Chains A and B, each alone.
Chain A
Amino acid sequence: MENLGVVFAILGAAFAALFAGIGSAKGVGVVGKSAAGVITEDPSKFGRVLILEILPGTQGLYGFLAAFLIMNNISAGMPLSQGLGLFAASLPIAFAGLISAIHQGRVAAAGCGLVAKRPEGSGQAIILAAMVETYAVLALLITILLIGRAA
């Protein structure tokens, strides 16, 4: 029982990487499909749609970052309260990351359609997709601050 704190902290790290990663995988997948459609028609748009495709990938990175920060704070025999704290700290980026990446993927996929019709609108498509990411960024921020408090 004395290792329960460590278990929870590890669970937190796993949560952060896992859920944000799932979200990004889904998001990038959705955009990838649209992007491939655009490229079939016009291969020269590859660069533009590639940027759109990468956008929902950042949540996975944020989750990875949070997992790493939590791992850095794990020490043998840490109290249960601290482990639970680290676990709770992982939740914002885990779930905001999961949901925001999927939705950002949808916006970016729609953006691919925009680029297909109006290549000069790629900047606007990027910004529309970046709006969704704000909430992942805020979640990551809270996760980082909470890790600082819990550790």
Chain B
Amino acid sequence: MAILNMKRIEILGLQKDRKKIIEFVQRQGCVQLDEMQEEGQHFTNLPTQQTVTQLERYESTVDSALEVLNRYTSGKGGLLDSFAPREEMSMTEYLEKSKKVDETLGKCKQLNALYKKIQDSKVEIARAETAIDQVRPWETLDIPSSFKGTADTQAFIGTIAEPLDREGVLTRIVEADPEAQGEVEVVSADKNQTCLVAICHKDNAKTFEQALRTAGFVAVSDATKHPPKVRIERLTKQIEQCNADIAEAEEAIKSYDDSRDDIAFLKDYLTLRTDKYKVLDKVSVDDSVFVISGYIPETKAEGLKNKLESKFDTAVNLSDVDNTSDEVPVAVHNNKLGMTMESITNMYAFPSHKDIDPSFIMTTFYYLLFGLMLGDAGYGLVMTFLCLFVKFKYKLEPRKRATVNYGLGCGLSTTFWGAMQNSWFGDLPKWIANGLKSNDPTDFISTHHLYWFDPLQNTTRFLLLCFFIGILHLILANCINLYKMSKQGMAFEGFFEVVPILLILVGIIPVINSYIGGGALAEIPSTKPIDNMINAAAPVLYILLIIGAIGVVVGPAIVRIKQKSSVGKVLGGLGGGLYGLYNAASGYLGDILSYARLLALGLCTGVIASVINQLGATPGGGNWFLFIIIFIIGHTINLGINLIGAYVHTNRLQYVEFFSKFYEGGGNPFTPLSAQSQSFVFKEEN
């Protein structure tokens, strides 16, 4: 649950062991090597850029081959499959499989070639289809479109861009030139064009052609020596051939399905080698020895040193580093609960050495807030069972286990808060108890009052609960800030910065209770004692509020007096304090009000769930079949939308209201050289 201390590590080894040592370090995956190694008097760097480029080219070949394979075969790739653990592989198996990589690479190239063939054929088909469309209007013409006439006649084959019949065309020609004589046959006509053949005697061909052109005639552009029908047949055959080619290529691709695992292995194999060669580039070497240096977490340092020194002829040197420097990479380690929050924290910003890793601390409130927002026991149970199913079906790896545990935490909290508010898929128990006739509260849960409160009957009290949870959340954030500042040796400054805010946060409780709550707590017996308590403590709390406000104003000035600043600066501190009071008042009020979203989103899920039940029950007047269909569809959608809503707004409360009080982030994540394989993991061997 914390940020790990780092150490510097320098490994000096013999040139002959170089690749082996780097491979070993890569498999251990706990050293981040320096970007630039020093080039000293005797050491130079090995250029490996060419090899890396070549390997990356292979990698992209394999990537596209895998993509092709996935497109044409129904392989893995479902949501559940993504939780399946990677295969474990020992070093010997790895070496054994590595012998086959050239063959597999050949297969990848063949796959890509097949895919290219399919693409080419598709282009060919499209081209042929366009050509057919162009020839189609001429289909009934039984002479080639390049026909020019007989010994005594001249023929004109072409189109007029208007719908006309034979008489229409002849009229046009006569209108253009009364002298023109000839015969016209319309092959086809649609609303865009008329396809026609015109014939005249050779003697008056010029006049006739002129008249034709004036009438809007255009000769065919792609005249051919075969009749259109033959051409269409030929093109159709071409399309058939292409389709056959595509089918054949697809079959061929499918036959590579058996090699899927080999290809996946090859991908990892290439990734591993690329990473290794990228590192080799950074290694300083002379004729007989090499040096690599980098950062390693303190907890793993001794272990790696011992392993390296026992396996190879190496000298490993560990040294301390300044663990507050920004240059040192940051590694975090959390327990199982804290791990579930790491991705949420990282989405905001990766922790830096100045920060306290908030992942573990935020778990409590995160799940509480999420549960309140989704707030339906039925939905919570669905989430819980789904996560438990995945958890027990697969042996999960740490990162995926954290994701599933996160879902489980959210599910459990949602179930709890849903049960507290008597929301089980909305008001499902009530409909069932009444046989879908009505939603009168005659069910077991309602009659025995097995819940805390009904949110619709207690909106104001629910709202107060949200605000009080918000105040607790903000107090926690400020306490962490105080702890962090004292850890940095600024306890005095922290005290005057944080404690006044804490006093204000506590002191504002009676204000919220009376102004926003409006005596709602006093209305029902179960919350009356709380109201009484707040009212009794109110005088004290008001005094705390005033002390807090004064503290905010004078705090900066006191800090400056302690720093022995000049009088002007102390007075400036007072001015800053006044501004700080304004900021605290507006900022923290806004922060507290922001927790009202707990109520809004919580109500939203429950009410819409109830509306879905009502929709399902009403139209059939108690038809169970219809009810179940509407129930499944409606609740799936409602759960989906509200899951996203709860996720987004819980994160918002964490980021904007909580993190802004103490968390800076911006650290440089620890990225060790490791085996970034996707399809297998190395088994630890001795």
At the interface, yes or no: B597 with Cβ under 8 Å from chain A? yes
**Which residues of B lie under 8 Å from residue A130 when comparing CB positions?**
648-649, 651-652
A107-151 CB contacts (< 8 Å) to partner B: 123-124, 126-127, 130-131, 133-134, 137-138, 140-141, 144-145, 148
Q: How far is the CA of A138 from the CA of B599 in the complex (A)?
A: 10
**A-B pair number, CB within 8 angstroms:** 66
The smallest C-beta distance from B346 to any residue of chain A, in angstroms, reads 9
With both beta carbons as reference points, the residue of chain B lying nearest to A141 in the complex is identified as: B596
The smallest C-beta distance from A71 to any residue of chain B, in angstroms, reads 10
**Interface size on A (CB < 8 Å)?**
26
Which of A1-9, A53-61, A75-83 contacts the other chain?
A53-61
Which of B224-232, B292-300, B392-400, B602-610 contacts the other chain?
B602-610
With A55-B648, A65-B604, A127-B651 in contact, is A144–B593 under 8 Å at CB? no
Can you show 30 pairs from A to B with CB atoms below 8 A apart? A54-B641, A55-B648, A57-B641, A58-B645, A61-B608, A62-B600, A62-B604, A64-B611, A68-B607, A69-B456, A69-B607, A123-B347, A126-B651, A127-B648, A127-B656, A130-B651, A130-B652, A131-B652, A131-B656, A133-B649, A137-B597, A137-B600, A137-B601, A137-B649, A138-B593, A138-B596, A144-B599, A145-B459, A148-B459, A148-B460
**Interface size on B (CB < 8 Å)?**
27
Q: How far is the CA of A88 from the CA of B641 in the complex (A)?
A: 28
**Which residues of A lie under 8 Å from residue B604 when comparing CB positions?**
58, 61-62, 65
Q: How far is the CA of A63 from the CA of B599 in the complex (A)?
A: 15
With both beta carbons as reference points, the residue of chain A lying nearest to B462 in the complex is identified as: A144
What per-residue 1/0 map shows which CB atoms of B654-685 lie under 8 Å from chain A?
01100000000000000000000000000000
**Which residues of A lie under 8 Å from residue B603 when comparing CB positions?**
65, 144
Q: How far is the CA of A119 from the CA of B179 in the complex (A)?
A: 75
**Which residues of A lie under 8 Å from residue B594 when comparing CB positions?**
134
Q: How far is the CA of A65 from the CA of B602 in the complex (A)?
A: 11
**Which residues of B lie under 8 Å from residue A148 when comparing CB positions?**
459-460
Across the interface, B348 reaches (CB within 8 A) one of A123, A140, A145, namely A123
The smallest C-beta distance from A39 to any residue of chain B, in angstroms, reads 16
Q: How far is the CA of A57 from the CA of B644 in the complex (A)?
A: 11
Interface of B is mostly: helix
The answer to whether B651 touches A145 (Cβ under 8 A) is no
Interface of A is mostly: helix
What per-residue 1/0 map shows which CB atoms of B620-660 lie under 8 Å from chain A?
00000000000000000000010011001101100110000
The smallest C-beta distance from A82 to any residue of chain B, in angstroms, reads 18
**Which residues of B lie under 8 Å from residue A62 when comparing CB positions?**
600, 604
At the interface, yes or no: B463 with Cβ under 8 Å from chain A? yes
The answer to whether B460 touches A127 (Cβ under 8 A) is no
With both beta carbons as reference points, the residue of chain A lying nearest to B645 in the complex is identified as: A58
The answer to whether B608 touches A65 (Cβ under 8 A) is yes
With both beta carbons as reference points, the residue of chain B lying nearest to A122 in the complex is identified as: B347
With both beta carbons as reference points, the residue of chain A lying nearest to B590 in the complex is identified as: A134
The answer to whether A68 touches B641 (Cβ under 8 A) is no
The answer to whether B600 touches A127 (Cβ under 8 A) is no
The smallest C-beta distance from B374 to any residue of chain A, in angstroms, reads 13
With A51-B644, A57-B641, A126-B651 in contact, is A64–B608 under 8 Å at CB? yes
The smallest C-beta distance from B265 to any residue of chain A, in angstroms, reads 22
Q: How far is the CA of A65 from the CA of B644 in the complex (A)?
A: 17
**Which residues of B lie under 8 Å from residue A124 when comparing CB positions?**
347
The smallest C-beta distance from B179 to any residue of chain A, in angstroms, reads 60
The answer to whether A54 touches B644 (Cβ under 8 A) is yes
The answer to whether B648 touches A126 (Cβ under 8 A) is yes
